[in-house]
Structure 1
């Protein structure tokens, strides 16, 4: 059955362009269009789409209010289309918090000059969200938490080349007791959480992509200010979004959170979000500082979980806890192998609580996940460690 899509945009150009892109794939059916948020809510109730592509800025009723109305009356997967301005970043993050699932960059010039790349991204994202809707349909709610994240670069070179600058890759042999099927059999309930030993470490590194902002806003606020380690956050996001997102996280968390800057000294109870468009590693010879630098254009993800994991393995050896959360693709799998090779611990989010299971699944199938955990279990374990 084709994924049913409602296209919402006040721009005739974008309504037509998005519809043209999606109609090229037989797995997608355009069931309607709308030019403002009020029409979007009405059409969502009448047409019951699987996915809605939603403009951020619209007349009559904007994207945020439209998302709230749709998630209350006709919940489905909503893909926000956002320009890369600070205002649009704030509005998009609010829409994600209201229940939107994901977002893509909206730039007329880019959509014309890189037509094939943009088309592939739009189709891929709509199909993934459509499949997600079929398997895990959202429930009606007046206030859903966000599920979102970012736009990976359209380039196809992975970060493995940078990751390999650290010690040799680990084998793909499964960690003890870890299934490679991608299903979680090790998580659930307080009894389980109490049985999981928090590893001895000096730093926690968390990587995420699609669904990451929601996941991070779920687990980070529960961590007490006295958390004994610094935390590095690698979320696939453009530069404009990471600065706004860091501010947003800092406002809701007990620990201090900032967008990382080159030379930042790492402190316990502080988290550092890698800037979009850059890479974040540990400063060579100084495990207590981070180095932030413009990304090599050949690397797909900016920032890349693989790059930061690889640096952590090289500098901190066995004293790292790497956590891979929801996201498209496989970023983090190569770096997680290096962490295991160095003797560190790796946790992966389980399928049932992921928006997109790609990144955790890649880590699990590589056989390097020590535990496959539900999102709330990850949050509880971090909270418990901070309270000790």
Structure 2
């Protein structure tokens, strides 16, 4: 069996050694090169033909974003960014994901306490997932959206919903709230869903994306700049408004409660035994309790099984569940868990998810 070839690029010798130490423990992974700046990264991508690269953002001579853009135009491959847990680092990471990076490692916590975050196993597993997805780069083509113009056409000027070739169901009734859960590959995939929804979708949409603090704010700002809907990072104690997307805050669980006729947000930083904070399970379960049959759950690309338990409860309460299909998922973990549990009413490609949300809500 051929080993997975990895290149590590970082201007810090400590960081290069830390990543090397984590990856060297896996017999399936071979480190074929290490670089100190973006120029090294471009040359190694060209000459060593690695399967996966880890790439720092802030480096001398050529920064990581410049290197990434050049790599993606010349020798595209799965690139994992090493990102600072700052507002500036989060903004740069959003740009990197737009340019085609598959994922990122949050720098400080990853290496100061990676045992607590389980980043070591997570990083190795992601590298294996990315290396094995032979058509991954096709799926990571940047989504070049601009804010859609106003339109009097049905469904906000987008194509009217049609039933895709995958498994779908007939309309069960108008939904009043949508919960979307995603992880690895989520920021890129959300850009192919949220900006395509019409301004008059008529319901609030809650999004749980596995990300640290600062990163969810940058994600919300990015999606808001592309969308006709209002996209914000949830701050807690908000009454959910229609035609608004609420991004769960990094480092906080987001729960939805029903108070009178309104849905209200509640934030809590207690991990409660969950690996991910925010957790799709936590939010989906709260939506199930608050809205029941009036809720639509959507599970998209990501590693692991977060979301399965919450969506099982949503289904039990009479709601409906859409799962992204395997071929369009960057990592088919979270959707697979939902599909194999038998709770997905529909299994559809990424490019059809927005249509199915419109179908259920309008």
Partner of 2:124: 123
Report the secondary structure of 1:281's partner residue: strand
Task: Considering Cα pairs closer than 8 Å and 6+ residues apart, tell me whether 1 or 2 has the greater RCO.
Answer: 1
CA displacement at 1:66 relative to structure 2: 1.2
For the pair 1:329 / 2:304, whether they are aligned, the reply is yes
Within the candidate set 286, 290, 296, 1:315 is matched to: 290
Query: Unpaired segments of 5 or more residues in structure 2?
Result: 145-160
Q: Which moved more, 1:7-16 or 1:352-361?
A: 7-16
The aligned runs of 1:191-270 (5 Å cut-off) are: 192=164, 197-199=170-172, 200-270=174-244
- Indicate whether 1:57 and 2:44 are aligned: no
**Scaled by the length of structure 2, what TM-score is found?**
0.88
Cα deviations across residues 231-257 of structure 1 (Å, max 9, x unaligned)? 011111111101111111111100001
Q: For 1:196 and 1:67, how far apart are their aligned partners in 2?
A: 41
CA distance in 2, matches of 1:360, 1:126: 19
The residue number in structure 2 matching 1:172 is none
Q: Contact 1:234–1:274 (CA<8 Å) still a contact in 2?
A: yes
Partner SS state of residue 65, structure 1:
helix
Shift in CA distance, 235/115, structure 1 to aligned 2, threshold 3 Å: closer
Which runs of structure 2 are paired with 1:1-388 in the superposition (5 Å)? Answer: 1-107=2-108, 111-115=111-115, 117-132=118-133, 135-139=134-138, 144-145=142-143, 190=162, 192=164, 197-199=170-172, 200-286=174-260, 287-383=262-358
What does residue 183 of structure 1 align with? none
User: How many correspondences in the alignment?
Assistant: 341
Alpha carbons of structure 1 residues 193 and 380: separation in structure 2 relative to 1, 3 Å: farther
Report deviation, 1:297: 4.9
8 Å contact 1:8–1:55 — kept in the other structure? Answer: yes
Residue 344 of structure 1 deviates from its aligned partner by: 0.6
SS of the aligned residue for 1:61 comes to: coil
* 2-structure distance, mates of 1:263, 1:347: 28
Aligned-residue RMSD, C-alpha? 2.3
Shift in alpha-carbon separation, 1:115–1:312, aligned structure 2, 3 A: closer
Distance across 1 between alignment mates of 2:317 and 2:217: 32
Comparing 23-32 with 119-128, greater Cα deviation is found at 119-128
- The answer as to whether partners of 2:164 and 2:348 remain within 8 angstroms in 1 is no
- Distance of 1:281 and 1:57 partners within structure 2: 36
Q: Give the superposition deviation at 1:192.
A: 2.9
Say which is worse superposed, 294-303 or 209-218, in terms of deviation. Answer: 294-303
Aligned to 1:184: none
User: After superposition, what is the alpha-carbon deviation per residue over 1:199-244, rounded to whole angstroms, capped at 9, x for unaligned?
Assistant: 4211011000001101111111011111111101111111110111
